[in-house]
Structure 1
């Protein structure tokens, strides 16, 4: 009898004890759809937002207009897509799956433990964000930042992005390719924790007293947009991350920067407002990503569901 009890998986035991709490279902088709939409997002307006945001965080004296002009001068329209291939594509096609798997499991465990949906969403977002940083996002954000901030003389031949990555790996190993990953982890942890948490609170406000009412697409879009925009409060971590990974040269820039020395350097150079450089394009990026994932995802799912129903009716 005791052996039979011990052989029951923890998840099954927890679910039987809390039949009213269901774990969010995950499917490979949904993960593939998320990867496809995020790749589309970053290949359209997402990367230009990312490039301008990164430029402003690395060159904190530049306004949005100046950043746009300098980015265009670096390579025309293509200048706004530096770091897209392969680094942004690798990141976009993998980070969603990592986030979904991790956050779903933590969210479920937190609700079984008695936490509210808002707190469970926050915990799930925190765990998912950390998992993203230490799996795919660390080296991807580093190489994207390298591409945006390294010097490229107009018309002159420059080393390929693969050559740069190889040289860094030869000199510093995996640690070098993940420079600034601690800042990435903190950013993702606070970003997704805030986004999930704020989105859930907004959803509960929309539902009002009817806590079981399904939200409309517009309400879900608004909740995600509000969550994404307000999650940008952690822009100081993004600026610190960019500075740690930046290839911009400065005579007074300390060597071997860590989180604290980078924060001190930014404050000495640019004051408190220096930590919020690039927050406007980052909010734009967050809103655009939300529109793609919510409207785009729902529309594509509805299309395939309708096609599936039509096929079943035809075969009936």
Structure 2
């Protein structure tokens, strides 16, 4: 297939289904427990890792690590995964075919595009509600049942409308564009390095599953450099009682508040589980995503987008 023909290649809508299935699998396995640990540490910045895990366990045992999974994480995963794989694959393909970019630059552009679109299109209220569910108090007076997740959602919506349930969405967008720009970019860069080491000079020579997973894991781990943005996002969406927190939270004011109260270390709270989550998510969405497209391509007869 020539470069011109590749640029004219129609968008593969199977990426929507693949993205949804992969992201649901990622979240339901290790994704949500790592998300809960990371969010708990980011919201309680004076707590150690052990204290955070004990706090999560006290909220329901093993089920405490899956708080927010149903329905918010499932809604988020099915929608954001579909958007990410659909947009990033199309943009990455067009960047290489139309702009002549290499795998690294095209991967960054595809990841940034997919991350921004998924943040504003699907992730705002889901991310907000997951954080609310993880950080809100579940205790109530004797004889009073704590509010359900849906009741809290309705309460926030009734009070603040769309802006209330999308609180922190700008921070989410910054996080997602840097997340997936880094993850796709670094993964493609590592793939190029693996090709050189293994002597795969022909573009048609495929990486093995282990090589693809290795590249994705390294790319995912390196993407945790933007942890301060994640801590800011959690603080903006948190329902943790804190009388010292500014009433009006913007990305800038939240950054200032965290820095003044917890210093540089506070901006990197939860970075260890975040690295684990980044690796897990990138292996699913980049490594398994590429392999899944190859698999689907064998049945459809189409050359899959982003063939490496």
TM-score by length of 1: 0.85
Does 1:194 pair with 2:163?
Answer: no
Contact 1:57 1:242 in 2 (8 A): yes
Aligned partner of 2:109 in structure 1 is 123
In structure 2, list runs of 5 or more residues that go unmatched: 301-308
1:7-33 superposed Cα distances (whole Å, 9 cap, x missing partner):
xxxxxxxx98724657586243x5324
In structure 1, list runs of 5 or more residues that go unmatched: 1-14, 309-316
Aligned-partner Cα distance in 2 for 1:121–1:294: 10
Does 1:35 pair with 2:20?
Answer: yes
Does 1:143 pair with 2:125?
Answer: no
Structure 2 counterparts to residues 1-316 of structure 1, below 5 A: 18-19=4-5, 26-28=12-14, 30-111=15-96, 112-153=98-139, 157-208=145-196, 210-212=201-203, 213-292=205-284
- CA deviation after TM superposition for structure 1 residue 110, in Å: 2.1
Contact 1:23 1:105 in 2 (8 A): no
Contact 1:51 1:148 in 2 (8 A): yes
SS for the counterpart of 1:18 is helix
Larger Rg: 1
- CA deviation after TM superposition for structure 1 residue 228, in Å: 0.6
Contact 2:104 2:188 in 1 (8 A): yes
Instruction: Give the CA RMSD over aligned residues.
Output: 2.7
Contact 1:56 1:63 in 2 (8 A): yes
Aligned-partner Cα distance in 2 for 1:301–1:137: 24
Indicate how the Cα distance of structure 1 residues 97 and 248 shifts in structure 2: closer, same or farther if over 3 A, else same.
same
Contact 1:23 1:108 in 2 (8 A): no
TM-score by length of 2: 0.87
